[in-house]
Amino acid sequence: MELPTAPAGKGCVPWQGLLLAVLLSTFWNPPTTAQLTIESMPTNVAEGKDVIFLVRNLPGNLAAYGWYKGDKVDHHQQIASYKIGPVEITPGPVYSGRETIYSNGSLLFRNVTQEDTGYYTLQVINTSYQGEVGTGQLRVYQPVAQPSIQASNTTVTEHQDPVVLTCLTNDTGISIQWFFNNQSLQLTERMKLSQDNSTLTIDPIRREDAGDYQCEVSNLVSASKSDLLRLDVKYDPTLGSSGLSAGAIGGIVIGVLAGVALIAALVYFLYIRKTGGYDGLSSCSAFSKANRHAWEREGDFNTVSGPASVPPPS
């Protein structure tokens, strides 16, 4: 391939050379031609707070700065001008008393209001009266007000009505989060949030849901939590929180024990049949015998006699 430094034939501009020139201009972007940029710090500001417009890529040999409200240089919208050496600051028609221009061109804006939202333009002029312009944007938001929290009922009975908690706010453009006992709420399969998170439905309610609920609203610049709302859940202590009664659990246990006892009795009965009676047994036989009769009695009331008819052990 032909080297770009080698001259091309007369009257013929090599396209490779043009391409290289474009490539070089993008790679070797000289810092002096870097665009003047204005950045608002922070980008989103709460009303009443201060903001600074930082100026980057300021050119050299500067003679003066001018700050303007809006996205262009308009002398009717001048905030202030700053002349360098000797320093001379002149307020413009829209100066509000809250702005300060620094020697590096940055503009400090104190106690901003929502009306300050918009574009701001800086014009810089060098000693040969050549100008450059940069524009930045300021977004001022109202901090959110404290929300309130409401419940369909703050004293509820376990497994009965659903509980609906509502986060009340008049602010818009917000997001909502829920807290339970001062921790971020962990949603269970019994809980459902509305699309905007403003309502929390718990259905069915369980004793472990009792506690302090709180909602928090936030926007880009602020956050605020509601007061705590205490939810009391009344429950039957004989019931498990899953809804299975202690009686039912007891029944299952007794049933299993009875089954085991029945099998044991059967094994014992077969053993007695095989060994031919109680004769060879120890002193515990009386108890065992009575027990056997009890089991037999349970099995058949009509045909089996009570323990009273059994002769005492020898």
Q: Does 268 bind ligand NAG (CB under 6 A)?
A: no
Enclosing H/E stretch for 254: helix 246-275
Long-range residue pairs from 97-100, CB within 8 A, at least 24 positions apart, any chain: 99/67
As a whole number of angstroms, the distance between CA 278 and CA 28 comes to 111
Q: Degrees (nearest 5) of the Cα angle 82, 87, 90?
A: 40
Q: Least distance from C-beta 53 to ligand NAG, angstroms?
A: 9
- Return the number of the residue (136 or 292) whose C-beta is nearest ligand NAG: 136
Using the contact rule CB under 6 A, the part of the chain among 11-19, 70-78, 80-88, 144-152 near ligand NAG is 144-152
Q: How many CB atoms lie within 10 A of CB 105?
A: 21
Q: Does 196 bind ligand NAG (CB under 6 A)?
A: yes
Using the contact rule CB under 6 A, the part of the chain among 13-21, 56-64, 240-248, 257-265 near ligand NAG is 56-64
Q: Least distance from C-beta 74 to ligand NAG, angstroms?
A: 22
Please give the single-letter amino acid code of residue 191: M
Distance in Å from the first CA to the final CA of the chain: 123
Torsion 147-152-156-158 (CA) sign: negative
Three-class secondary structure of residue 309 per DSSP? helix
Residue 95, Cβ density class (10 Å: 0-12 exposed, 13-18 middle, ≥19 buried): middle
Q: Which of 20, 34, 89, 168 binds ligand NAG (CB under 6 A)?
A: 168
Q: Does 160 bind ligand NAG (CB under 6 A)?
A: yes
Q: Does 212 bind ligand NAG (CB under 6 A)?
A: yes
As a whole number of angstroms, the distance between CA 13 and CA 230 comes to 83
Using the contact rule CB under 6 A, the part of the chain among 73-81, 85-93, 174-182, 200-208 near ligand NAG is 174-182
Q: Does 89 bind ligand NAG (CB under 6 A)?
A: no
As a whole number of angstroms, the distance between CA 225 and CA 247 comes to 44
- Return the number of the residue (172 or 283) whose C-beta is nearest ligand NAG: 172
Q: Does 61 bind ligand NAG (CB under 6 A)?
A: yes
Residue with tokens 């202590």: 237
Q: Does 60 bind ligand NAG (CB under 6 A)?
A: yes
Whether 142 contacts 171, CB under 8 Å: yes
Q: Least distance from C-beta 150 to ligand NAG, angstroms?
A: 10
Q: Does 148 bind ligand NAG (CB under 6 A)?
A: yes
Q: Least distance from C-beta 145 to ligand NAG, angstroms?
A: 5
DSSP string, 89-132: EEE-TT--S-EEE-TTS-EEE-S--GGG-EEEEEEEEETTS-EE
Q: Does 182 bind ligand NAG (CB under 6 A)?
A: yes
Q: Does 86 bind ligand NAG (CB under 6 A)?
A: no
Q: Least distance from C-beta 35 to ligand NAG, angstroms?
A: 12
Q: Least distance from C-beta 71 to ligand NAG, angstroms?
A: 21
Q: Which of 37, 77, 117, 126 binds ligand NAG (CB under 6 A)?
A: 126
Where on the chain is the footprint of ligand NAG (CB under 6 A)? Answer: 48, 54-56, 60-61, 102, 104, 106, 111, 113, 126-128, 130, 145, 147-148, 153, 155-157, 160, 168-170, 175-177, 181-182, 193, 196-197, 211-212
